[in-house]
């Protein structure tokens, strides 16, 4: 099956710096891209058009999973490839993923071998949503060939478009964090395998999708804390206890006294997200998205 069977979905949010390499790599694989831009202010949309992508311009930041759902709905190919803007497919990766999809018809999600800047192969050894016997301490052993894994990284995922739509896509209640774990869990629960494809390779910048700032660090940690509690409730898991929140409060105060704004904001975000959950606030309300589809 040719690479034309795939449409890449790339969600951008102030990602102008990394988009060119991502989109050029996709073009080199013959994979057209839809860039769903979450109201960037850095020219990401112009960069995307310049590099041949179709752009869907959101009026506001819809979050990662929700924006991917918009892109998948707009695609028309049998497969979609979820791609972070700071990820670059290596030559032959798209064809290898498609070939694996044909070899493993029961696969729900397929992911390439993801290489981080350090040269390490990224594999997820554990998850809040994984059964205890599958959660492993330390790094996982890198498979020497294709492997069925309990979870795959949301940085790059190949999925049959109709299957994605049938499962409802990424959970729209989540703005950021755990949306890929949740999709993997629902895929497994529906009887579909998650396949790590050894011959497909991608390079991941990890954390370079958007320009950093202390405000974004606060926001990210807010959503991490909130989403953790949302996922725990969704699957009937124990909720995080108050000790962690108190520890984050103490760390936020300590780093503020040390004038370390980045770490102070990060820990303060964790506290704020936990408190918002306790008050019954939603992630969408925080982002003023409650009325969005």
1 pLDDT band (50/70/90 cuts)? Answer: very low
Q: What is the pTM of this model?
A: 0.92
| pLDDT tens-digit series, residues 84-127 | 999 999 999 999 999 999 999 999 999 999 999 888 888 876 67
Average pLDDT, the chain: 92
What is the rounded average pLDDT of the residues 9-25?
97
Please report the pLDDT score of residue 248 as a whole number. Answer: 94
Please report the pLDDT score of residue 139 as a whole number. Answer: 62
292 pLDDT band (50/70/90 cuts)? Answer: very low
Please report the pLDDT score of residue 137 as a whole number. Answer: 61
Please report the pLDDT score of residue 134 as a whole number. Answer: 60
- The alpha carbon dihedral of 208, 209, 211, 212 has a sign of negative
What is the rounded average pLDDT of the residues 58-71?
97
Asked if pLDDT for residue 211 goes beyond 90, the answer is no
Tell me how far apart the alpha carbons of residues 191 and 289 are, in angstroms, rounded to a whole number.
Answer: 32
What is the rounded average pLDDT of the residues 134-154?
79
| pLDDT tens-digit series, residues 177-188 | 999 999 999 999
Answer yes or no: are the C-beta atoms of 44 and 56 closer than 8 Å. Answer: no
What is the rounded average pLDDT of the residues 118-138?
71
Please report the pLDDT score of residue 2 as a whole number. Answer: 54
Please report the pLDDT score of residue 127 as a whole number. Answer: 75
213 pLDDT band (50/70/90 cuts)? Answer: confident
What is the rounded average pLDDT of the residues 50-67?
97
209 pLDDT band (50/70/90 cuts)? Answer: low
Q: Which domains does the chain have, with CATH numbers?
A: 3-204 (3.90.550.10), 214-286 (no CATH)
Tell me how far apart the alpha carbons of residues 286 and 220 are, in angstroms, rounded to a whole number.
Answer: 12
| Share of residues in the chain with pLDDT > 70 (%) | 91
- Tell me phi and psi for residue 199, to 5 degrees: -75, -15
Asked if pLDDT for residue 293 goes beyond 60, the answer is no
What is the rounded average pLDDT of the residues 138-152?
83
* Ranges of H-type helices in 61-177: 64-74, 93-103, 161-166
């Amino acid at each position: 099956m040719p690479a034309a069977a795939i449409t890449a979905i790339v969600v951008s949010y102030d990602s102008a710096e990394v988009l060119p390499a991502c989109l050029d790599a996709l073009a080199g694989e013959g994979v057209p891209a839809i860039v769903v831009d979450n109201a960037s202010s850095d020219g990401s949309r112009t960069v995307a058009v310049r590099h041949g992508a179709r752009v869907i311009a959101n009026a506001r930041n819809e979050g990662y999973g929700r924006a991917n759902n918009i892109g998948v709905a707009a695609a028309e190919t049998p497969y979609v490839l979820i791609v972070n803007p700071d990820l670059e497919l290596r030559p032959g990766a798209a064809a290898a993923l498609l070939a694996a999809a044909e070899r493993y018809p029961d696969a729900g999600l397929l992911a390439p071998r993801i290489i981080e800047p350090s040269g390490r192969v990224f594999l997820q050894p554990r998850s809040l949503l994984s059964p205890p016997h599958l959660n492993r301490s330390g790094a996982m052993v890198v498979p020497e060939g294709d492997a069925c894994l309990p979870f795959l990284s949301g940085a790059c995922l190949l999925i049959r478009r109709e299957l994605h739509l049938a499962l409802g896509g990424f959970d729209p209640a989540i703005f950021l964090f755990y949306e890929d774990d949740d999709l993997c869990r629902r895929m497994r629960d529906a009887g579909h395998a998650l396949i790590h494809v050894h011959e497909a390779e991608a390079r991941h910048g990890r954390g370079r999708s958007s320009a950093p700032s202390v405000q974004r660090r606060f926001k990210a940690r807010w959503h991490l804390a909130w989403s953790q509690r949302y996922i725990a409730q969704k699957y009937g898991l124990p909720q995080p206890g108050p000790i962690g929140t108190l520890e984050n409060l103490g760390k936020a105060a300590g780093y503020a006294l040390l004038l370390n704004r980045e770490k102070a904001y990060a820990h303060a975000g964790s506290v704020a997200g936990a408190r918002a959950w306790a008050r019954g606030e939603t992630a969408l309300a925080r982002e003023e998205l409650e009325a969005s589809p």
